[in-house]
Structure formats: C-alpha cells, structure tokens
Structure 1
C-alpha cells in the first residue's frame, strides 16, 4: 500500500475536508495527527474525515 497522503480541501469558510489515502498505521499516525492539528489551528469549526 502507498504511504499516507493527506489532501486538505476547504469546501466553505470555517470548514475543511481531509482526504487521507494510503496506509494509516503507527508509523504514519503522527503525520495524520499533525495535519488535523494544523487544520484546526487555522480556525476550522467543522472538520470532515470521509471514510
């Protein structure tokens, strides 16, 4: 499986969608967590993580 990639989309002000593809495991969880934290720190009120 390919390494984790995260695409951040802003469908409307105050909202974000993070689309993660690849393998999410103990070696990539820190990267995923950091991206979520960056997105929330940017003032996003609604965060969508589609499955």
Structure 2
C-alpha cells in the first residue's frame, strides 16, 4: 500500500518497494505494482517521480 505524507504543505505518495515519491497517488500505485512484479524500473512510470527524492 502506497504511503502518503505531507512535506512543505505538499502531499506526496511513496512507493513502499523502491521509495520513489510522486505527487499523484496513481503513479505511486503503478510504481508499486511494477516493482512487486518486475525486478526493474519502468521508465514510463518513474519519469513522473519527484526528482531528487528517494
């Protein structure tokens, strides 16, 4: 299940598998599903991650 947290007034959603954070829950959920099924990153998903966070 995706983690939700607030940082500097901004809601962020974190993939519990790889730790990448997203502004939209949908992308964090897609990241988690991919991480659990494949031992790799999906470029189409991680391009939506917040840069500099993980």
TM-score between both structures, scaled by the size of structure 2: 0.33
Higher strand residue share? 1
Higher helix residue share? 2
Bigger relative CO (Cα 8 Å, ≥ 6 apart): 1
Q: State which structure, 1 or 2, has the greater radius of gyration over its C-alpha atoms.
A: 1
